[in-house]
Amino acid sequence: MESFIKFTNQSQGRDRIFRTTQYACALSKYLLRNNSARKGLVLKLQSLESNMSSGRKLFRLGNTVNSIDAAKRTLKLSDPVLRLCLTVANLNRACYFICDNLLWASNVGLVHGIDKERWSLNASRCYFLFLVMNLTRDVYVITQIMVQRTREREFRQKMDLHLNDNPDVATVIVPQLDAFLFLLIESLKSQPSVAIDTIKNICDLFIPLDRLGMYQSNPGVVGFCGLISSLLGIVSVLHPGLKMKP
């Protein structure tokens, strides 16, 4: 109960709840779209989804400054790859929030005469670049973990035992591929925070890809991926040890 109270008292925690509800509504609405007996429910889900989206925009009003401050901190990282990936990611995140805040201001009538479609596309482009840089960081970190694992004598013995115990797999699949997959899975198991962050970013990537027309899916796929990503985000907030650092 204490964890739940602490979670809901955080603006980030409330945003995760709103986001989960938003994408759960989007997925449910898609699944019920052809059910004529549930048209009333679909309209309610659509209204709730819209309200959750508007609420999240309000929560994000101060995130531009936070992202710029995060970019300043990542500029001090000693690893050049992490420094580049995270700084560019945070700057794109800041640009995304600027576009998002402008759209919110337009929707509530504070700003007039802007091209909403153009700014919405700009927001999606910034979000896409933010996710690409985060995924690049994830791949880099996973590669480092894999290299470190291969240097461990105990792990090499475990991998040899795995290949010897599965001769059929090694004959059907390229042995090097089997060893690579084993190494990848074991590396992700050893660092669950990296696994969670990678899966979350991959799921989120479908959202701007669909919006920008780079990979057309459907509202059901977007809703499902957004829901999975939101649930993983809740897990990382509830358990800070599962949040990837830096």
Structure tokens at 132: 């690409």
What gap in Å lies between CA 3 and CA 130, rounded to an integer? 30
pLDDT at 2 over 80: no
Q: What domain range is 63 assigned to?
A: 2-242
User: Which residues touch 179 (CB under 8 Å, ≥6 apart)?
Assistant: 159, 163
pLDDT band at 149 (very low <50, low <70, confident <90, very high): confident
Scan for tokens 């700084």, then name that residue.
87
Q: What percent of the chain has pLDDT over 70?
A: 91
What gap in Å lies between CA 82 and CA 127, rounded to an integer? 18
Comparing CA positions, the residue from 115, 105, 99 lying closest to residue 208 is: 99
Structure tokens at 74: 């990542």
What gap in Å lies between CA 93 and CA 68, rounded to an integer? 9
What would the pLDDT profile of 77-132 be if each residue is shown by its tens digit?
Answer: 999 999 999 999 999 999 999 999 999 898 888 888 889 999 999 999 999 999 99
Sign of torsion over alpha carbons 146, 152, 156, 158: negative
pLDDT for residue 6: 62
pLDDT at 158 over 70: yes
Please state the φ and ψ torsions of residue 57, each to the nearest 5 degrees.
-60, -35
pLDDT for residue 7: 60
**Helices and strands: H and E segment counts in the chain:** 11, 0
Number of domains in the chain: 1
Structure tokens at 80: 């050049």
- Cis status, amide bond into 219, omega within 30 of 0: no
Structure tokens at 172: 């059907």
The letter for the amino acid at 211 is R
Read off the pTM.
0.89
pLDDT band at 13 (very low <50, low <70, confident <90, very high): confident
pLDDT at 235 over 90: yes
Structure tokens at 193: 């925070």
pLDDT for residue 143: 95
pLDDT for residue 173: 52
